[in-house]
C-alpha cells in the first residue's frame, strides 16, 4: 500500500469527477478516518484544494480504497479535525451500543415467546420497537403475541405495520386475518387472505 500519514490530502478519480479527502487518522489495519469534500470535475491540487466544500467532517473508509488514491499535499491535522473524529467515533459507539442492546432485548423476547409467556414477550418486543420501527419481525412477533392474548385491535395494528415492511409474509397475513376474524370483520379477513393468494 502507498504511504499515507495523518494530514495527507488525496483524491479518487470517479467517472470524470474527483472525490477529495483529508486523512484525519489512520485507524487499525482496515480503516482510515477522513474528512470528505464534495465531488468536483476539477483536479484537486496543493494550490486549489481549499476552495472545495466539505461534505462530511468525518467518515470511515477502508484502507484498501487508498490503493487507487492520488496523494497531492499534506496539511497538519488540526483541533477541528480531531474534534470531528472524536464526535464521529462517539456516534459510531452509540450506534453499536444500540445495536447490541437491541440484539439482547430481541433474544430475551424470542425466548419469552418460545416459552409462551406472551404478556412478558409483548413488553420485551415493545422495548425492542423503541429501537427500530423498521424491523418487521419485531411487529410481526409482538402482533402474534397480542393475538394470542386477545388484544386483537393492537395485533392488527402491529401486523399491518409489519406487512407494510414485508408485504408478502404469509404467516403475518394469516395472523392478521385471524385478528380481523376475531373482531367480527370476516370480510376484511377474507379479503386479506384472498389478496395474498
Which residues, listed in sequence order, are joined to residue 21 by a DSSP beta bridge? 10, 36
CATH 1.25.40.10 residue window(s) in the chain: 93-195
Give tens-digit pLDDT for 52-92: 999 999 999 988 888 889 999 999 999 999 999 999 999 98
Q: Which residues are within 8 A (CB) of 60 and not within 5 positions of it... i.e. 6 or more apart?
A: 27, 31, 32, 33, 34, 88, 92
**pLDDT value at residue 2:** 60
pLDDT class of 124 with cuts at 50, 70, 90: very high
Q: Which residue is associated with the grid cell 481549499? A: 50
**pLDDT value at residue 196:** 58
Q: Which residues are within 8 A (CB) of 92 and not within 5 positions of it... i.e. 6 or more apart?
A: 60
Give tens-digit pLDDT for 151-196: 999 999 999 999 999 988 999 999 999 999 999 998 988 888 887 5
**pLDDT value at residue 1:** 42
CA of residue 29 relative to chain centroid, distance? 24
CATH code for 93-195? 1.25.40.10
Give tens-digit pLDDT for 8-18: 999 999 888 99
Residues 11, 21: Cα–Cα separation, whole Å: 6
This prediction has a pTM of: 0.62
Cα distances from 65 to residues 35, 53, 54, in angstroms, run 15, 21, 19
Amino acid at each position: 500500500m502507498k504511504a499515507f500519514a495523518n494530514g495527507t490530502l488525496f483524491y479518487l478519480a470517479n467517472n470524470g469527477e474527483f472525490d477529495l479527502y483529508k486523512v484525519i487518522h489512520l485507524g487499525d489495519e482496515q480503516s482510515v478516518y477522513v474528512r470528505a469534500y464534495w465531488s468536483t470535475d476539477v483536479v484537486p491540487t496543493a494550490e486549489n484544494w481549499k476552495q472545495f466544500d466539505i461534505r462530511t467532517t468525518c467518515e470511515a473508509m477502508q484502507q484498501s480504497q487508498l490503493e487507487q488514491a492520488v496523494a497531492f499535499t499534506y496539511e497538519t491535522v488540526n483541533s477541528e479535525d480531531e474534534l470531528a473524529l472524536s464526535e464521529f467515533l462517539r456516534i459510531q459507539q452509540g450506534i453499536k451500543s444500540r445495536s447490541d442492546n437491541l440484539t439482547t432485548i430481541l433474544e430475551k423476547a424470542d425466548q419469552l415467546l418460545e416459552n409462551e409467556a406472551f404478556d412478558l414477550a409483548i413488553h420485551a418486543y415493545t422495548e425492542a420497537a423503541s429501537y427500530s420501527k423498521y424491523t418487521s419481525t419485531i411487529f410481526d412477533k409482538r402482533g402474534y403475541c397480542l393475538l394470542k392474548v386477545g388484544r386483537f385491535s393492537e395485533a392488527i395494528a402491529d401486523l399491518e405495520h409489519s406487512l407494510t415492511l414485508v408485504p408478502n409474509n404469509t404467516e403475518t397475513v394469516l395472523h392478521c386475518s385471524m385478528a380481523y376474524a376475531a373482531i367480527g370483520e370476516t370480510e376484511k379477513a377474507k379479503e386479506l387472505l384472498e389478496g395474498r393468494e
